[in-house]
Structure 1
Amino acid sequence: MDDETAEIELLEQNLNKTRQISQRMTSILTSFDTRLVKLEKSILPLYTSTQQLTRRAKNIESALMKIDEIASYQEGIAAEEALILRGPQPGQMQEYMEVLQRMNATIAFGAIDGSARETARLIESGSKKLMQLYTKLVAEASSGTPINGPEFEPIPFSPSIVSTLHPLVDFLRALPLPSTHPSHPAAPAIQSSLKEAQRGYAEMRGGWLRKCLDIYGKRVVERASTVDGITAGQEFGTFVENILDVAEEEYTHLTDLVPLTSPSMISSTYTTLLTPLISMFSSALASLSSLIKRSLHRHTLLALSSLSSLAVHQARWEDIMCRRANRKENELREGVLTIRASCQRSFPEFLADIKMAASSSRGELSTGVIDITLSTVEYIERIPEVRDAVCMVLQSLGDGNWKMGEGTQVGKGARTTEVEDQTLLEHFMYDAVNMIVNTLQAMSRSNKRPAFGSIFLLNNVSYLLTHLLLKPTSPEISALISKPAQDILRSNFRTAKAAYFDSNFSPLLQTLADDKDKSKSATKEKFTRFFDLFDEVTERHALARVLHEDEEGRETVADEAVKLVVPSLQRFIQRNLGKEFSKNPKKYIKMSAEEVESLIKSFYLERDSTVPPPAERATNNLLIQAGWSR
């Protein structure tokens, strides 16, 4: 108990000490707090001033940094602006385009403020500088002197210029446009400039292509009136083919080298490029058509050849010159219709010219092959070369309508088989052969001396038969002549040869014919009359050659003439020599039968036409009086 009391007292004593210490600590802390309050009141104004100075120092430092940054940026802008305004320089193309790309990126990711608008103006200016370079390069590729050779030689787009244009075109295609960058301040102006540059491209390339082709086109038209008609038509077809070739190649370049590639812009640009070419073609076609119309009978083969050559290119023209340019006009189709109309006229007029030859043959004529025969044969010989065009026109005319109302109108149906074309050709050839034979017969009958007329008819019909059936220049020619037409030629040749013998040798035979008067004077008269007529035949054949281009035919006619005359003369001489009809028979029998035979054969020998024999000179007046000339 005492221990516990002692511990309690000890604890009370310690507690009192602790209380006293706490009171002294509280008193000290209170005093310290009071002093801190006083110190704080003293330091606060200084602290406040120090914070303001620190903030001002930071602001000043930030301002200086910003000033340095702005100064540096302005220096860069000034340098880029100078670069852009100076334009792309050799070796700086890539750097130039990179600057414009950075400016475009600045506008794309920044606000549209004053500085952005200034940047947009620089972008617009730089883009125009690049477009000027683009136009300059295209102009260099579209200038110079075209190759003026006998054949057209295209000048290709310079490969070096194409390689330079490719990166430039790629950049121009990436420029901001209203459709892709609607908020870009420079987009409308850039699009307008690009359209102008693209139009310039088309105008320069189109003008250059016309310059290259125009010389050749004019040469083709000028030659059309002097060279062979079929050749001239083929040359015009080659001219059209050259136009299509360069247009197709240019379309490839256009799609590869123009900055605006939307379908509408490609079509519009291509149309602009084609305009000079189409104008040139239309002018050349108009000149050719005018030449044909002025003298259709002379230029019939030219018209047919041109029609054939143009028709071949119709599908390609439709694709290259119309569909790709989205054009409805088709100048080639119109040209084909114009030329075809002339060709349609040519067939009736060809037959009419043959028919008119009979009525226009007034004045001097020739016993040789005349122009209408030569031209008819030449025309028929050339038809296989323009067969497609001929069939096309005959189909459009209708079977028989080439006879100008004399034919029968048939139903107009589409061509289905090649047989129909062959039938039409045979029908037309029949009418042509029939017409020329009738004309020759009429001309031979118009002569006052049938003997000369018969030689004329024989020569001309033989020429037709030889060149169209017996010895054609091509197997295709005889294939055009139908069996009825062949029969006409063969029959009229036989008739013409019979008429020739009848008019030239029948009078000789008539003088030798037996009659009731057997007196010596009658015999003398017969011999005299025979050799007088034979002299006329000799003189006639000295002037008028028979089948002078057909050696085999002359030999045949010579043999037939000998067989016709000589046996009768031999019999007449033998029958009368024994009767002593004269004391001097040689006075009346001027030549023996063998001599007559030899002389008859000499009628048909080829001779030099520049030196007429005496008998020919003596009978010139006779021929002129008859209305004939050699």
Structure 2
Amino acid sequence: MDDETAEIELLEQNLNKTRQISQRMTSILTSFDGRLVKLEKSILPLYTSTQILTKRGNNIESALQKIDEVASNQEGIAAEEALILRGPQAEQLQIYTDALERLNAGIAFNSLDRDSRDSARLVETGAKKLTQLFTKLVAGGSSGTPPAGSEFEMIPFPRDLLATLQPLVAFLRTLPLPSTHPSHPAANGILSTLKDAQRGYADMRGNWGRKCLEIHGRRVVERAETIDGVAAGRELGRWMNNMLDVVEEEYGLLTQLAPLPGQAALSSAYISLLTPLITLLNTTLSSLSALIKRSLHKYTFHALSAFSSLSTVQSRWDDLVTRRSERKENELKDALVSLRGVCLRSFPEFLADIKMAAVGKGGELGVGLADFTLSTIRYLEQLLEVRDAVESALLTLGDGNWKMGDGVRVANAPKLGPGSEHILLEHYIYDVVNTVIQSLTTLSRMQKRPAFGSVFLLNNVTYLQTNLLNPRSPLIDVLSRPTKDQLNSAFRTAKAGYFDSNFSPLMQALADDNAKAGSSGAKAAAKEKFTRFFDLLDETKERHKIARVLEDDPDNRDLLADEVVRLVVPSLQRFVQKQKEKEFSKNPAKYIKLSPEEVEVQIRSFF
């Protein structure tokens, strides 16, 4: 118990000490807390002031950073503005377009530290600078001196310029326009700039195309007066195809390089591009038309060949020019209508010229080939070279209307329409041949000496027959049966007239004369007949020295000689034999100056 009491007392003592220590600690802490409160009250104003100063310091630091950032941005903007105002360089195009893209993006998202109107003006300036580069590059590819050779040579757009233009055009097509960026401040100005650039492009390319084609167009007009009409028309056709090749090439280039590729803008530019070329076409065709109308009989085949050649390119013109440009005008169609009218006039005028050749030409005209005989053969041959144009024109003119009322139309004759062109051509050729024969016959009858007229007619009709009915001639296929019959009939008539004028007097001189009776009278008549015969033979010989028969046709000349021999010599042989049997003279050689065999030789010498 004592031990436990002692421990309890010890614990109480320790507890008292602990209590005392706790009280002292509480007193100390209370005193410390009071001091802290006093310290806090003393430090609070200083803390507040320090906090304000710290905030001000942070604000000053942020302001300085912002000032540095703004200064840096201003330097960048100034440099970018200088870049844009200086204009693009072809080799550094990407840098320039990137700068404009940044400006456009800033305007779109309102992220620029400048007035959007200033930025828009800068974008518009950049667009103008780009279009100036575009125009400069196009001008470089649309200048120079075209090749001056006789054959047209297509000049392609330079590859290096095209390679530079393609990325430039691709960027120009991305610039803001009212249709795509209605709120962009520079959209309307950029649209106007691009329109001007596209119009300038069209003018430059159109005038360059005209420059390349113009020298060849003048050559076509100049040569038309010196070369064959069919060849001249074909040259015009080749020139037209060259023009359409240029148009097709330029349209493809325009679709690649047009800054405004929309259909409406493209059509407008295409029309501007075509204008110089169409002007050149009108000038060239007007010059040719004036040449043809000045002397239609001389330039008939210029008109026909030109009509044929231009007709073959009509569909191509309609596709490349009329439909693509969405124009109502069709200059080539108008030119063809005008040419068709000239061609229609040529047919009756040719017949009228042949008729006029036989009017007012009295006197001796010689026995050679008439000019219109030669020209008719050439005319008919050339008709086949432009047969499509001829048949089309004759179809339009109407069957028989080329005779200008001279022909009598059969009331119940079938009307010839499309598909009957070859029949119309046969009818026209028949009328040409018939008119030539009539004029030749009229001229032959105007000769003061019928014998010479007969030689003239025979020479010309034989020339017609030989050239037209030659199996190797292409004309044989377009001659109708009536035409062939007419030629053969005319030849027979001309030959009969030749025999009648030149050899019938010889035959008449040998004819029996029953009026003189008695032996002495018959002998005297025989002597007179021989004298008359050989006198006429001498006259015929002299005449044939002047009037050469079928001089350039040895085959027909030999045949004609055989016929004359068969006509004259047998009659002479019979008459000589008959008179010798009657012993009409004691000296027959005095009157029979040549034997029948010698007469034959002499007759053959006529040809």
5 Å-filtered alignment, 1:227-626, equals 227-405=227-405, 406-408=407-409, 415=418, 417=419, 420-472=420-472, 474=473, 476-516=474-514, 517=516, 518-604=521-607
- Are 1:185 and 2:188 counterparts? no
Which residue is equivalent to 1:134?
134
* Paired residues of 1:401 and 1:407 also in contact (CA < 8 A): no
Alpha-carbon separation, structure 2, partners of 1:275 and 1:195: 17
5 Å-filtered alignment, 1:106-125, equals 106-110=106-110, 114-125=114-125
Alpha-carbon separation, structure 1, partners of 2:180 and 2:194: 15
Alpha-carbon separation, structure 1, partners of 2:471 and 2:414: 37
Distance 1:160 1:194, change over 3 A: same
Per-residue deviation, 1:401? 1.5
* Percentage of matched positions with identical amino acids: 63
Residue identity in the other structure for 1:534: L
Per-residue deviation, 1:83? 2.1
Per-residue deviation, 1:211? 0.7
Cα-to-partner distance string for 1:199-222 (whole Å, 9 max, x where unaligned): 111111111111110110011011
**Deviates further, 586-595 or 341-350:** 586-595
Distance 1:316 1:60, change over 3 A: same
* Paired residues of 2:362 and 2:446 also in contact (CA < 8 A): no
TM-score using structure 2 length? 0.92
**Deviates further, 83-92 or 237-246:** 83-92
Alpha-carbon separation, structure 1, partners of 2:313 and 2:90: 46
Distance 1:412 1:18, change over 3 A: farther
* Paired residues of 2:362 and 2:447 also in contact (CA < 8 A): no
- Are 1:79 and 2:82 counterparts? no
Q: Which runs of 5+ in 2 are unaligned?
A: 1-9
Alpha-carbon separation, structure 1, partners of 2:549 and 2:230: 33
Per-residue deviation, 1:185? 2.1
* Paired residues of 2:365 and 2:447 also in contact (CA < 8 A): no
Per-residue deviation, 1:64? 1.3
* Paired residues of 2:230 and 2:301 also in contact (CA < 8 A): yes
Alpha-carbon separation, structure 2, partners of 1:501 and 1:599: 16
Residue identity in the other structure for 2:598: E
Give the SS at the match of 1:91: helix
TM-score using structure 1 length? 0.89
Residue identity in the other structure for 1:447: Q
Per-residue deviation, 1:50? 0.2
Residue identity in the other structure for 1:599: Q
* Paired residues of 2:363 and 2:448 also in contact (CA < 8 A): no
Which residue is equivalent to 1:628?
none
Alpha-carbon separation, structure 1, partners of 2:416 and 2:320: 30
- Are 1:209 and 2:209 counterparts? yes
Cα-to-partner distance string for 1:390-416 (whole Å, 9 max, x where unaligned): 11111111122111123538887862x
Alpha-carbon separation, structure 2, partners of 1:191 and 1:218: 40
Per-residue deviation, 1:514? 0.9
Cα-to-partner distance string for 1:566-609 (whole Å, 9 max, x where unaligned): 111122222223545445443332222222111110111xxxxx
Distance 1:535 1:411, change over 3 A: closer
Per-residue deviation, 1:103? 2.1
Distance 1:458 1:141, change over 3 A: same
Cα-to-partner distance string for 1:370-400 (whole Å, 9 max, x where unaligned): 1111111111112221111011111111122
Alpha-carbon separation, structure 2, partners of 1:463 and 1:198: 65
Residue identity in the other structure for 2:504: S
Cα-to-partner distance string for 1:290-340 (whole Å, 9 max, x where unaligned): 111111111111111111101101110001011111111001100110000
Distance 1:360 1:535, change over 3 A: same
Distance 1:58 1:33, change over 3 A: same
- Are 1:70 and 2:70 counterparts? yes
**Deviates further, 443-452 or 595-604:** 443-452
* Paired residues of 2:344 and 2:393 also in contact (CA < 8 A): yes
Cα-to-partner distance string for 1:594-626 (whole Å, 9 max, x where unaligned): 22111110111xxxxxxxxxxxxxxxxxxxxxx
Give the SS at the match of 1:451: helix
Q: Which runs of 5+ in 1 are unaligned?
A: 1-9, 605-630
* Paired residues of 2:85 and 2:126 also in contact (CA < 8 A): yes
Give the SS at the match of 2:466: helix
Give the SS at the match of 1:259: coil
State the aligned residue count.
599
